[in-house]
Structure formats: C-alpha cells, structure tokens
Structure 1
Amino acid sequence: MSTAATREAEDLTFTAPKTESLAALLVARERPPRPSALAASVTFGWRAMLKIKHVPEQLFDVTAFPIMMVLMYTYLFGGALAGSVDAYIQFLLPGILVMSVVMITMYTGVAINTDIDKGVFDRFRTLPIWRPAPMVGYLLGDAVRYVMASVVMLTVGMIIGYRPEGGPMGVLLGVVLLLVFSFAFSWIWTMFGLMLRTEKSVMGVSMMVIFPLTFLSNVFVEPKTMPGWLQAFVNNSPVTHLATAVRELMAGNWPTADIAWTLGWAALFVVGFGAITMRLYNRR
C-alpha cells in the first residue's frame, strides 16, 4: 500500500465517529416536548401573518375593499332608500360590515389550496402536532384580517356620519360576535380548499355560495319590502340573523334571539364542516 493511501486510511479512521459516542450523544439529549394544541395553532397563525408581511398586497381586501363598499353603497342607495346619507348609514354600516367580513372569509380556502398545490401540507402532516393545527392556524391568522377590516369600515363610517348608540361596548360586542361567526363560517372554505383542485375553482364556488347569502339578507333593506316567498328565505338566513344581532348590539340593544341563532349557526358550521374538513385532510 502506498504512503498516500496509508495516510488517507489513517485520517478516515481518526475522524470517523464511534458508534458508542453517537449513541451516548443521542440518548443524553431529551426529546423536545410535544407542542400543545394551542401552541401549534398559534404558531401556524403566526405563519399566516408572516405571509402577509412578505406579500402586503394581501391586505387590499381588508383595507381598500371595505372602504369602497361603505362609500359606494352609502352614497348610491342612501338618498333613494332613506332620504339621506346620514339616515341610511345608521342602518347600513353594521350590515355592510357583516357582508364585507363574511365575503373575505373565502380567501382562507384559496390560501389552503395554494399550500396544498405547493406540497407544504405534506410536510405538515408528518409533524408530531395536533392534526387540526394548520387549519386552525389559518383561521386565527385570518381573524386578524377580519379585525382590520372591521376597524377600517367603522372608521370610515364614523367619518361620514355613523353614530352607534350602544357606544364603544356595543360596537365591541358586535365585532366580537362577527368574529366568532366568521371563524366558524371559514370552515366551509377550508373544506372547499381541500376538496377542489385549483384555487380558481375554490374562488368560483365560494362566490356562488357567498353572493346569495349576503345579498339575499337584510344588509341593505328590511325584508318586509320583499315578496313573501323571498322573506321566508331571508328571515331564516344566517347572515340575516348575524346582521340583525350586530346592528342591534351597536344600537345599544340585546337581541337575544338573533344572538342565539348566530351562535347556533356558528356551532353547526364548526361541528359539521370542521369534521368534513379534517376527514378530507387526513385522507388527502
């Protein structure tokens, strides 16, 4: 054997780690504790917020879009429906707030579908975490966006004449109820995000569901002006119950029936569509 070969063999022998040393190193270190369901969900929620940080254009739907909705519908319908903008904004703003926030919930499904297409969710499913954590994290991250949209719309409404008789507490209660419903309603779009193959399909199906629910409601006018067959649908719509509850809370009232209906619909969405979502997630 040549001198160079002998020296190379000695170097390899010298640098190769011993099996006993590796075993001792691995055994000596404790395995990190399994993260709790809350910790995992909050982590994924923070991930959703970081995506907004790197792509701030995603905030368009919670800033420019709400401003456009408030101004357009207020000045377009105010004089015709209520005689003046000041009178109509008192009725419209809580309803248009509900409509705008409910409409932007569909972007949860689009974001999930995009991550699935990129293969990110394959990595998530291999992690030793609570299984629904990625889904819940998305919804928690989007809840921040809903708060931003609510603040923007209420600010614009106050500037053009909205005055909630319930004061800050009534406004806060109305926004909290809206956030609870929106969190639950978003589970529908997580299901579509897992079920459909492209984000365009998710967007298309979401619009087909959201538009009838939001426009066929009491967001813009009282249902009593509608035909009887349409009133039957509108009066039992979850968006109608939510809009009425938010409107009354901000006016300083306590609409027990509409709050109960809203929370009941929210529970139904979480239990029903949440279960379907996790079934699809585990099988995908």
Structure 2
Amino acid sequence: MSRLGRVSAEATAAARSFLRRRTAVFFTFFFPVILVLIFGVLVRTQPTGGGLFAKPGGYYLPGYLAVVVLFTPLSRVGSEIARHRSGNRFEKLATTPLSRTEWLLAHTVVNVGIIGAASLLIFGLVVAVTDASVALTPALLALPVFVVLGVTVFCGVGALLGAIADSQDGVIAASNTVALPLLFLSETFVPPSLLPGWFLPAVNLSPLTYFARGVRAITYSGDPWLGHLLVLAGLAVAFLAAGAFAIPRTD
C-alpha cells in the first residue's frame, strides 16, 4: 500500500470513530455556537465605550474561529494518543507500515475536515447574528488556508501533550492549561492596548497570534496578511514534525 493509501485508510478509520461518538460531535459544534450567541448577541459590543468587547463585531471573528482551531485539535489529538498509549496500540502500530508521521498526518486531515465545517458554521453565524460585515475580496480565499495551517499547528501541539501526559485526564488538563491563556492573550478577544507593555513581546510567541492577525487582516482591517500566513506555515511544519517525533513507538 502506498503512503497516500495508508494515510487515507487511517483517516477514514479516525473519521468513523469520531462520528460514532455523538456527544463529541455535538459539542464540537455546539460550544462555539454558544460562545457566539453569548458574546455576539447577549453581550453586545459597544464601539463608543471602552474595555473588553468595545470594538465592532468584525474585530472578534478571529477569536470565535480560534476557539475551534485551538481547543478541538488539542483535545482530540491528545486524547487519541492517550487512548492509544493506554491500549498499547502504538506497540501494534510499530509492526505495520504506517509511520508515526503518517498517523499524525491522517488525524490532522480528519481534524481539518471537522474544524473546517465548524469554522464555516461560525463564520456564517457571526455574520448573521452580529454587526460584523465581511467584504467579499480575493483575499478571503486565503481564509481556509489559515484554518488549515492553524489546525495543523495545534494538532502537532496536541500530539506533544498526548506524548507527555500520562493519562487521558492529564491530556484534558494540560490542553485547558495551554489553550485558555493562548485564547485570550493572542490578539483574539483582548486587544493589545489592554495588555501591559512589558507583556506585548510575549504575544508574538503564540502561534495563535499569527492566525488571529491574518484572519483579522483578511476579514476586518484590510492590513497585509501574507507575512502572517508564512509564519503560520513555518510553525505548522515545525509543530507537526515535533509532534510526530514525540509519538511513542511502544508503551
């Protein structure tokens, strides 16, 4: 079987496994929808005021997309590795032609499909229920690329967490510990003007920052976005390689 065939077979099996877990499917789409309804409808933005959520609704679209781009791959890939470790599946995997890189790539493809669908739902919901308006420009075609690269980055991070944590509960705790600070300190919901000056250089260390900046440039500000795309692409390659290397051969 070719490499493409091995990746396709593993991706098909992973997708079927996810679809069988109906609770996971439901909350993958339900959680970001609830977030949009709470902060986009109930907690309305007030552009003439100050503080959090004081900018127009379009400013926060990258933040809503970041919720699924960040949380879903961290928890799904990390938990999948934890389940494989507890069942000694990697020891069995080592006897097959499927490499660790191919395994992680297959699960990344599945996450791209799931999160791509969730992102499309969030995008439509934000435009429908908030005051956000998105100009239909050629740059909008780069938005799916940002989603793919963002998902790839955090699939790699999820693989690292799954390899380090000693249980599925440990993966969930580690994922939340990593994801919550990144979600609010990566120019998603909190503007840089609300952060202390000494902390601003640390914002540039977050991969999610480049996702948020690029998506915001495409959908809201009209600023240059190619540089953010290139940085995110480099980070995607680096984290995917690191995650594949960290996946254990045996347990």
SS in 2 for 1:72: helix
- Residues 101, 149 of structure 1: 8 Å contact kept: no
Alignment of 1:1-284 (within 5 A): 35-75=1-41, 77-80=43-46, 88-106=56-74, 107-160=76-129, 161-167=131-137, 169-251=138-220, 253-277=223-247, 281-284=248-251
Does the C-alpha gap of structure 1 residues 145 and 256 become closer, same or farther in structure 2, counting only changes over 3 Å?
A: same
Q: CA RMSD in A?
A: 2.5
Does the C-alpha gap of structure 1 residues 193 and 235 become closer, same or farther in structure 2, counting only changes over 3 Å?
A: closer
- Residues 90, 250 of structure 2: 8 Å contact kept: no
Aligned to 1:11: none
- TM norm structure 2: 0.86
| Structure 1 unaligned residues grouped into runs of 5+ | 1-34
| Structure 2 unaligned residues grouped into runs of 5+ | none
Q: CA deviation at 1:273?
A: 3.4
Larger Rg: 1
Superposed CA deviations along residues 208-266 of structure 1, whole A, max 9, x for unmatched, are 11111121121113202321112222244321221010111224553233223222322
> Aligned equivalents of 1:264 and 1:82: distance in 2?
38
Give the letter aligned to residue 89 of structure 1. G
Q: Identity over aligned residues, as a percent?
A: 22
Give the letter aligned to residue 234 of structure 2. G
- Residues 186, 208 of structure 2: 8 Å contact kept: yes
> Aligned equivalents of 2:243 and 2:93: distance in 1?
21
> Aligned equivalents of 1:103 and 1:129: distance in 2?
27
Give the letter aligned to residue 244 of structure 2. G
Q: CA deviation at 1:126?
A: 1.5
- Residues 63, 183 of structure 2: 8 Å contact kept: no
Give the letter aligned to residue 244 of structure 1. R
Equivalences, count: 246
- Residues 36, 130 of structure 1: 8 Å contact kept: no
Does the C-alpha gap of structure 1 residues 228 and 77 become closer, same or farther in structure 2, counting only changes over 3 Å?
A: farther
SS in 2 for 1:178: helix
- Residues 68, 115 of structure 2: 8 Å contact kept: no
